[in-house]
């Protein structure tokens, strides 16, 4: 190839993003300068946090005309650094583009001999570490407790439930649609699953959790949080790693749930802790790779990937992810 391609932020979305918010561009393939490597993207990860970066009123927003953020598995095609050679596979934050020249010091190697390289962006990547950190450091499920997780078929929620079961807890998943619920129940082996699209969510969740909820892993918010709140037991723990229900804007509501939530937090001595998984990387990422990597390699932890073809497919796939159309970890095969 004589040119690279990238997708940039063409305009800031108002509510749900549309294809007009993105633009496909091309330019000459860069050359690696001293200390850099030139990489060719193989797989691009699409993640909900990217929606927040599209807004101006957020820390470190993506500038109009700048490349969309994103982590990739890439192959090195040129290197000026003694540690890396052409053909090496690495994780890099290059964004939505086919090629990039990046500083070698910010890379992490990907070993294709242990598990598929795509897992470095999913169950053994940022989503998996978000699940691991939230459960190990905040949720801390104990034997016999009930753990509930929203988006249970996704890359974060699916690992949360499996980690809960490995700790001896009971795993209850919330998912959207019959296919995803069947996967959570039959393939992942959750103890119970609730279809959020079937209607009567509060009642169905109460039936699935007759002894209440001891840990609720929050990544969605909105009506799911409202259904969970009355079921939280005394001293329940709530790791909060995301609120995808609000990423396209806060829906109008005639009822303010904050007073009820705060009163429940006080009366039941709840621990509600928000976190960004990068806060824990230095102290816990190596343990995560060792522990969860062994579980994935042995088949004790299972995962599902949703792979779309071609960089040009990224915008529509990303828009669909925000409404739950993907099934499992969403990736774009670029190379």
**CATH number of the domain to which 324 belongs:** 3.90.180.10
pLDDT at residue 128, rounded to an integer: 97
User: Quick check: 1 pLDDT over 80?
Assistant: no
pLDDT at residue 106, rounded to an integer: 84
Across 229-248, average pLDDT: 93
Q: Kindly indicate the confidence band of residue 258, based on its pLDDT and cuts at 50, 70 and 90.
A: confident
pLDDT at residue 4, rounded to an integer: 96
Residue 272 lies in a domain: yes
pLDDT at residue 37, rounded to an integer: 97
Residues 52 and 84 in one domain: yes
Residue 33 lies in a domain: yes
Residues 159 and 267 in one domain: yes
Residues 160 and 239 in one domain: yes
Residues 94 and 70 sit within 8 Å (Cβ to Cβ): yes
Candidate from 70-74, 152-156, 258-262 with smallest mean pLDDT: 258-262
Across 199-228, average pLDDT: 95
Helix orientation angle between 281-298 and 155-166, rounded to the nearest 10 degrees: 80
Residues 262 and 140 in one domain: yes
Residues 26 and 5 sit within 8 Å (Cβ to Cβ): yes
Q: Could you list the residue range(s) of the whole structural domain that residue 103 is in?
A: 3-119+305-333
Residue 27 lies in a domain: yes
- State pTM to two decimals: 0.92
Residues 132 and 270 in one domain: yes
**123 vs 129: CA distance, rounded Å:** 8
Residue 82 lies in a domain: yes
Residues 50 and 144 in one domain: no
Residues 28 and 115 in one domain: yes
Residues 148 and 258 in one domain: yes
Q: How distant, in Å, are the alpha carbons of 3, 33, 46, 78 from that of 88?
A: 21, 18, 23, 10
Residues 176 and 262 in one domain: yes
Residues 89 and 75 sit within 8 Å (Cβ to Cβ): yes
Residues 324 and 272 in one domain: no
pLDDT at residue 324, rounded to an integer: 87
Residue 291 lies in a domain: no
pLDDT at residue 244, rounded to an integer: 85
Residues 247 and 268 in one domain: yes
User: Quick check: 254 pLDDT over 80?
Assistant: no
pLDDT at residue 253, rounded to an integer: 59
Residue 311 lies in a domain: yes
Per-residue pLDDT of 49-93, as tens digits, reads: 999 999 998 888 999 999 999 999 999 999 999 999 999 999 999
**What's the number of domains the chain is made of?**
2
Residue 46, Cα to own-chain centre: how many angstroms? 8
Beta bridge partners of 246: none
Per-residue pLDDT of 163-187, as tens digits, reads: 999 999 999 999 999 999 999 999 9
Last residue of a domain, one of 230, 262, 277: 277
Residue 36 lies in a domain: yes
CATH of the domain at 137: 3.40.50.720
Compute the mean pLDDT over every residue in the chain, rounded to the nearest whole number.
94
Nearest Cα to 316, choosing from 3, 91, 5, 24?
A: 24
Residues 156 and 267 in one domain: yes
Residue 182 lies in a domain: yes
């Amino acid at each position: 190839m004589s040119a690279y391609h990238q997708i940039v932020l063409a305009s800031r979305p108002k509510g749900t993003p549309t294809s007009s918010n993105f633009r496909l561009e091309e330019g000459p393939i860069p050359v690696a300068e001293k200390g850099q490597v030139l990489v060719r993207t193989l797989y691009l990860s699409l993640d909900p946090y990217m929606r927040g970066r599209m807004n101006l009123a957020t820390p470190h927003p993506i500038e109009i005309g700048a490349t969309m953020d994103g982590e990739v598995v890439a192959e090195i095609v040129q290197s000026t650094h003694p540690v890396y050679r052409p053909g090496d596979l690495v994780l890099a934050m290059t964004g939505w583009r086919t090629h990039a020249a990046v500083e070698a010091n910010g890379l992490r190697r990907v070993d294709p001999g242990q598990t598929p390289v795509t897992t470095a962006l999913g169950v053994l990547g940022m989503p998996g570490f978000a699940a691991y950190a939230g459960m190990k450091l905040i949720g801390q499920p104990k034997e016999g407790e009930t753990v509930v997780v929203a988006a249970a078929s996704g890359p974060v929620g699916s690992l949360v439930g499996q980690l809960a079961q490995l700790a001896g807890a009971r795993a209850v998943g919330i998912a959207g649609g019959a296919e995803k619920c069947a996967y959570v129940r039959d393939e992942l082996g959750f103890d119970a699953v609730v279809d959020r699209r079937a209607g009567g969510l509060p009642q169905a969740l109460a039936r699935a959790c007759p002894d209440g909820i001891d840990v609720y892993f929050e990544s969605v918010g909105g009506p799911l949080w409202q259904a969970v709140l009355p079921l939280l037991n005394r001293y329940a723990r709530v790791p909060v790693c995301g609120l995808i229900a609000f990423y396209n804007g806060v829906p109008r509501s005639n009822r303010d749930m904050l007073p009820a939530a705060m009163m429940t937090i006080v009366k039941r001595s709840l621990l509600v802790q928000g976190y960004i998984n990068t806060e824990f990387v230095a102290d816990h990422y190596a343990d995560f790779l060792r522990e969860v990597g062994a579980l994935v390699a042995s088949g004790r932890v299972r995962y599902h990937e949703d792979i779309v073809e071609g960089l040009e497919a990224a915008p529509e796939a990303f828009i669909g992810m925000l409404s739950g159309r993907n099934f499992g970890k969403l990736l774009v095969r670029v190379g």
